[in-house]
Amino acid sequence: MSKRKEKIFLFLFDLIFIALAWTVYYYIRVESGWIIYANPPAFIAPLIAIYIYWLVIFSFAGLYQHWFVRSRFDEFSSVFKTVSVGCFILFFLIFLDDMMNDAPIISRFLILIYWLLTVICVSTGRIIIRSVQRNLLEKGIGLRNTLIAGSGEKAIELEAMIKKYPQLGYKFIGFVKINHNESAVNRNSLGSITEIKKIIKEKEISEILIALELNEKEKLIEIIRYCSEEKVNMKILPDMYEIVSGMARTNQIYGVPLIEVMPDIMSPAGLLTKRIIDVTISFLTLIILFPLLVLVSVLIKLNSKGPVFYKQERVGKKNVIFTMYKFRSMIVNSEEYGPEWSGSNDPRITKIGKILRRLYIDEIPQMINVLKNEMSLIGPRPERPFFVEQLKKEIPYYYKRLSVKPGITGWAQIKHKYDTSVDDVKSKLQFDFYYIENMSLKLDFKIMINTIIVIILMKGH
């Protein structure tokens, strides 16, 4: 079942079973005569409102996120927790309404009945979808083209497993050999690691299962690097975990754990909240500091010839090139001989530019990039295409840094000095990786507070 079809079915079944739960609840509340109403509440309007409410709650909880071959128990567990939280919010709102209108206490207990009905109905709908999905997979419908990266016995065992259990959703296409002298998988070998990109495109591969022997560990990073820009899901056997520590989430395949490489660390709710915070703070900052920004613009023009703003191409999430904005802090044509690193005593920096950099004021125009969804307030700093290409060649796992939106400030900026060379960027990568592997609103808040302290103490670059 494709992602699009899965979402359509989830929306449809949620609509049907949320309506069913509301219908039974309405009968108990109104038609049963348990509570006497002078003017009975409406049926349709609250149903529409409650469906929109659950649509928002379910979206925040990630219930419409694509889960390939998700178990029915996991589905029930997610629905149970989400409905419980949603009903608690409803209970709190009803409690406040009752206090304001001096309503009878019995209305508060009705929410417990509604909670039970919603859990049962929505869970039933979700379990039906997962059961249908599993039955289709067992019949070979909706299987995903799967490549096994491996040359030894582990690869052979994994092939036997996915063929034995089609309900896992994997359709075995072939092997990618790790070592040329391996003969165990020659019968289904599609090529070597260096050809993996070509194989993915030709065979329309969507899943890669990595099964390496103990003496092949060093090949893992190479495989991930070749596949990093392709739209494939990668999973590895757990003895490789130490190599990608912090990037993984474990799934079970009939008792054999597989580790998902580079999953989405933040939940959809967390990412949406992060985006809302980005937009709100950026918009308010530009509005509140508008008089200061005008003054800075005038000072830049008076201090040196050239434009107020400095525009430069930077590499964003998934290698997307965008134009980043800053207040100009250097003389015009400062890089007429090609990209150069800037030091703290760089003679190209203007007098007003030094002040702007110390107070991070030169970075404020990047709020425009945040509003355009090209950057975030918090994240790894975006690099120029020239240096990105250079770093990709020297650091095989640099692609990981491009898996999230770049930021105006980040963990590396508060833990390390300003970049003056490629070596500085390499040193800061460990801090960027830490942020990517531990992304959370709590960590963002910590970075934001530390950045404010740096600005107040004038420890900027």
Q: HSE-up of 119 (CA within 13 Å, CB side)?
A: 18
pLDDT the model gives residue 21: 93
The b/e string for 55-87 (b: 16+ C-beta within 10 A; e otherwise) is bebbebbbbbbebbbbebeebbebbeebbeebb
Residue 22 makes CB contacts below 8 A (sequence gap 6+) with 46, 47, 50
Tokens in use for 368? 């425009």
**Cβ-count burial 356-369 (b if 16+ within 10 Å, e if not):** bbebbbbbbbbbbb
With bands split at pLDDT 50, 70 and 90, how would you rate the model's confidence at 176?
confident
Determine how β-strand 309-315 pairs with β-strand 256-261.
unpaired
pLDDT band at residue 256 under the 50/70/90 scheme = low
Q: Which two tokens stand for residue 318?
A: 């998934």
pTM: 0.62
Closest CA to 212 of 200, 199, 201, 224: 224
Sign of the alpha-carbon torsion through 343, 345, 347, 350: positive
What CA–CA distance (Å, rounded) separates 416 from 435?
14
CA distance 12 to 6: 10
Q: What single DSSP character describes residue 213?
A: -
**Please, which residues have CB within 8 angstroms of residue 80's CB and are 6 or more apart in sequence?**
119, 123
Q: Does residue 208 register a pLDDT over 70?
A: yes
Domain extents for the chain?
A: 3-138, 144-261, 268-456
Question: Which of 89, 107, 90 is CA-nearest to residue 98?
Answer: 107
DSSP code, position 195 = G
Residue 12's nearest CA partner among 129, 109, 115 is 129
DSSP, collapsed to helix, strand or coil, labels residue 248 as strand
Does the pLDDT of residue 262 top 80, yes or no? no
Instruction: Work out the burial of residue 280: count CB atoms within 10 Å of its CB; fewer than 13 is exposed, 13-18 middle, 19 or more buried.
Output: exposed
Domain 144-261: which CATH number of 3.40.50.850, 3.90.600.10, 3.40.50.720, 3.30.360.10: 3.40.50.720
Does residue 243 have a pLDDT over 50? no
The answer to whether the Cα torsion of 62, 67, 73, 75 is positive or negative is: positive
Residue 254: which pLDDT band, with cuts at 50, 70 and 90? low
What average pLDDT score do residues 91-119 get? 74
DSSP 20-86: HHHHHHHIIIIIT-SS--SSPPPSHHHHHHHHHHHHHHHHHTTTTS--TT--HHHHHHHHHHHHHHH
Q: How many CA atoms lie within 13 A of 39 on its CB side?
A: 1
Q: Which residue has the higher pLDDT, 62 or 315?
A: 315
- Mean pLDDT of the region 179-202: 74
The one-letter code for the residue type at 19 is: A
Residue 242 banded pLDDT, cuts 50, 70, 90: very low
The neighbouring-strand residues paired with 261 are 248
* Structural contact between residues 92 and 147, judged by C-beta atoms closer than 8 angstroms: no
Cα gap 113→75, rounded to integer Å: 21
Matching residue, tokens 């071959």? 69
Give the mean pLDDT of the chain: 80
- Give me the mean pLDDT over the 217-224 stretch: 75
Q: What is the pLDDT of residues 23-78, one digit of tens each?
A: 998 888 777 777 666 567 788 888 899 999 998 888 877 788 766 556 678 788 88
